[in-house]
A and B are shown apart, each in its own frame.
Chain A
Amino acid sequence: MTVDTQEKKIIEDPGIDQGAAKLTPEKIAQVINTTLGTENLARLYAYTKTCVHCGLCSDACHYFLSHDRDPKYSPVGKIKNTLWPMIKNKGKVSVEFMKEAARIAHTECNLCRRCVQYCPFGIDTAFMISTVRRIVHKLALTPQYIQDTAHSHAATMNQMWVKEDEWIDALMWQEDEARDEFPDFRIPLDKEGSDVYYSVIGPEPKFRTQLIYQAAAIFHEAGVDFTMPSGTGWDNSDMCMFTGDFEMMGRLKRDHYESAMKLKVNKIVMGECGHAYRSVYDMGNRWLGWREMPVPIIHSIQYFYELLMAGKIKVASTIDKLATFHDPCNTVRGMGLHEMGRAVAKAFVPNMVEMYPNREHNYCCAAGGGVINCGPPHKMTRVHGNKIKAEQLKATGAELIVAPCHNCHGGLEDIVHHYKLDMEIKFLGDIIYEHMVKTKAVEE
């Protein structure tokens, strides 16, 4: 049981609490010392020896700014309350300490890497928090809901317990629906040698099938030679990366890349997800020994931009609303796609206003890094931890937020609702599909 400082109420997470009930100080020390002694030792050592406790990273963190600059929410404060005591005490920390460390690492840091940019030494706090999560994983203290997601990944190779037939059925259903609009519409399954393999995340076939419809409609209109796999590998997401189960992360990325290799495609285009991008270009591929991506992966932001610039998708109408663009951490700080995202959004919503700060300095949605996947018990932690985002959004006066990331949508929806912002949130795919020229559609 842990305490939410904002609400002053106890947050129970059976994943943490029941895991802790089985722990002994000896087990904790053994796991901490083995993990710290064998994994990324040099990097961690360099960071802990280099940090001068200057606190310059504090103002970078939305949790710190949203909690009246309470130092325990600063990046360095979170390390001080998790990793440092583990190192200093050579693993001799209490069960209560580990429960708190699990809660901090999983629900008070989005691994957004904003703070890294503000540390004069480039210390990667997100990497250190990720190491804490790795220890938490090895001690079986991972919050219940995200652990369930990791279990789904392991059992089904997707994060939503989607069964093999359900996946294919969802694609066929969307194909069927879309034929009312585009009579010769297809979602080609397992089409070997296609230019593009389109991959999505688990929730799309489960709850957001319209996103598959829209993306396929855009490809159809643009004349893209694409395919989707009928077997596993279609889910590019990776919550195991965030629970610190790196072995499972590697297994998922192998499945994803091998399904594309089998189909001999030129490239993978992935849907509007941020964390999945990080898992394929940085974390998962490298765990497997691939220095780069064995099959190039292009994020939808970039792909839509390329289609638009090449004139393959054209603007039919624009949205007459004041809009703002939310920069997802993993596509912006991770891959620098901020200008491409803006260019696509602006083509359809000319009246755009910037949030401040923006681009690589933008605040995280507070859902990323697996925090939203920790489920309902921790919802208010992230909502209260992102008051600054609400203020940032409100200051724009915009009615529409364009956010090209699933987690960002989830996080921003909760913020918009809680802080009563009355803003609509859309994916790039939504605005393109709704406002592009549809030369292949039936006349209405």
Chain B
Amino acid sequence: MQPATAWDWSPGKKDIWDLSKHSREAQWHEELYASPDGEKTASIAKYGDEGFGICVNGQAQERLFEKIWNLRFAPDGRLTAIVQEEMDWSVLVDDEVWPEEYAFVWGVQFSQTGGTIAASIQQDGEYGMVVNGEAWPTLYQNANNFVLAKDGSATAAVVQVKNIPQADIWTYKEGCFSVAIDGNAWDTSFMNCWTPVFDAEAKRVACQVRHTLYDYSIVVDGQAWSSTFPSVWDPCFNPATGAVAAPVRMAGKWGMAQDNELIWDAKFFNCWNQQFSADGKNLWAIVAPKFGRWTLAVNGQVWGKTFGTMVTDMTVAPDGKHAAAVGKEGDKYAIIANDTIWVGWYDMVWKPVFSSDSHNVAAKVKRAGDRYTVVINGQVHNEDFDQCWDPVFSPEGTKVMLRVVKDGKYSRIVIPVPSSHH
């Protein structure tokens, strides 16, 4: 696939294919996905007893498998799926299956550009990861919380390093879990580890741990913060300074700690999903300033507009100064961007997307039960669709590509960005 600058950004609608037209009749199609550039859709087809195949724009690929699932386009446009042949599993990338097979494969992940593809594996009852077709040198009796660094240069997971006999609550308490990076576990182990995360260079790893049933903390490269808390949430690295920030619970409320120091007072009913801006200057998070009221906070400053049911899907703009999220009140969803709740309540709203210049925000929405469209800078697109994928901004941010299904046809529509409301 070409880089986004070379995609077809000329305004207008392009019908790509008629969903009823397939080069081979199938019992059914599942997992229909559109490619990042909008030029292709792919689906998994079931061909009776012969098995499963992949169909791209209605064109059936020849190779069939016993089972296919998790069909996804990588950010670079390569088409991937988890496939089974003779009871063993592997990953299909475009036309090639990775040569090694495993007893089970799941959890495919992509690096930011899509250059690296990783997955979770189980082989002979042992667990680990496979990266671009190569498995970790060491596998473990159990592993979870698998993660691939954004740049694709490293992988990590929580691994079980000590056996726990059945119902042996004492061995468990000694600490049987650690974090393995590219298959190599830290020397230290903990009662529990959760959500390992890489720094910007994929050189350091932080995670949540529980030392005892009551003492939670953050561990960075195997070293725990000296403070413990009644609970913590997922840490993240400041991409500019390398500092580690994590929500911490104190006396029944939540605050934000950074490198073992409290930086936001513990005054929130909750505080999570924090994220640094790319320049590291702003720290954003979803917070509950009161019980049952939700909004965003930046550097500890809470937005004025709140939602009663929840706030989710926070997106920080590339400039780090703006953010948007999805809020819910009762059973209706809305978009909040820069502390303004956009007009319009929907049955569902997908994670907002910013243009690269940070001036525009768009999100996929569902309304009237099962009709889909997009909202761009607060304005609802004037057409509904049977199905649609997240909107994609052109690299300079003046156009938006919609990937949609309507009346049985998959199309790619490019429209100019309506003027910004914020």
Contacts and interface: CB of A to CB of B under 8 A. Distances in A.
Interface string B271-315: 010000000000000001001101000000000000011101100
Interface stretch (A145-153, A362-370, A405-413): A145-153
B43 interface: no
A260 to B, nearest CB: 11
Given A145-B167, A147-B169, A266 B348 contact: yes
Interface in B4-55: 27-28, 30-31, 46
Contact of A151 (B172, B194, B313, B347): B172
B136 interface: no
A391 interface: no
Given A140-B213, A184-B28, A232-B144, A165 B104 contact: yes
Interface stretch (A97-105, A122-130, A185-193, A202-210): A185-193
Nearest to B350: A264
Contacts of B213: 137, 140, 245
Interface in A157-185: 157, 163-165, 168-169, 172, 183-184
A296 B331 contact: yes
A336 B209 CA distance: 39
A291 B308 contact: yes
A155 B145 CA distance: 10
A20 to B, nearest CB: 14
A294 B310 contact: yes
Contact of A247 (B216, B251, B272, B288): B216
Contact of B251 (A15, A38, A148, A291): A38
A440 interface: no
B142 interface: yes
B124 to A, nearest CB: 12
A294 B169 contact: no
A18 interface: yes
Given A154-B192, A288-B270, A289-B269, 17 more contacts: A38-B251, A39-B252, A137-B213, A138-B214, A144-B167, A148-B169, A164-B144, A165-B120, A169-B104, A193-B348, A193-B366, A250-B231, A291-B291, A291-B292, A291-B308, A294-B309, A296-B331
Contact of A163 (B27, B107, B142): B142
Interface string B83-121: 000000000000000000001101100000000000010
Contacts of A38: 251-252
B267 interface: no
A189 B82 CA distance: 13
Contacts of A264: 348, 350
Interface string B142-168: 101000000000000000100010111
Interface residues of B, number: 57
Interface of B: 27-28, 30-31, 46, 67, 69-70, 103-104, 106-107, 120, 122, 127, 142, 144, 160, 164, 166-170, 172, 177, 191-192, 194, 210, 213-214, 216, 230-231, 249, 251-252, 268-270, 272, 288, 291-292, 294, 308-310, 312-313, 328, 331, 347-348, 350, 366
Contact of B144 (A138, A156, A188, A296): A156
B290 to A, nearest CB: 9
B406 to A, nearest CB: 16
A231 interface: yes
A183 B48 CA distance: 9
Nearest to B122: A165
Nearest to B348: A264
B107 A231 contact: yes
A193 B33 CA distance: 13
Interface string A232-252: 100000000000010100110
Name the residue among B104, B120, B310 with the largest chain A CB count within 10 angstroms: B310
A148 B167 CA distance: 5
Contacts of A296: 331
A230 B107 contact: yes
Given A148-B169, A290-B310, A292-B309, A168 B328 contact: no
A261 interface: yes
A256 to B, nearest CB: 14
Interface string A27-46: 00000000000110000000
Contact of A164 (B69, B120, B312): B120
Closest 10 A/B residue pairs (Cβ) = A291-B292, A289-B269, A165-B104, A289-B270, A289-B288, A294-B310, A247-B231, A148-B167, A165-B122, A147-B169
A75 B46 CA distance: 59
A172 B107 contact: no
Contacts of B268: 289
Contacts of A39: 252
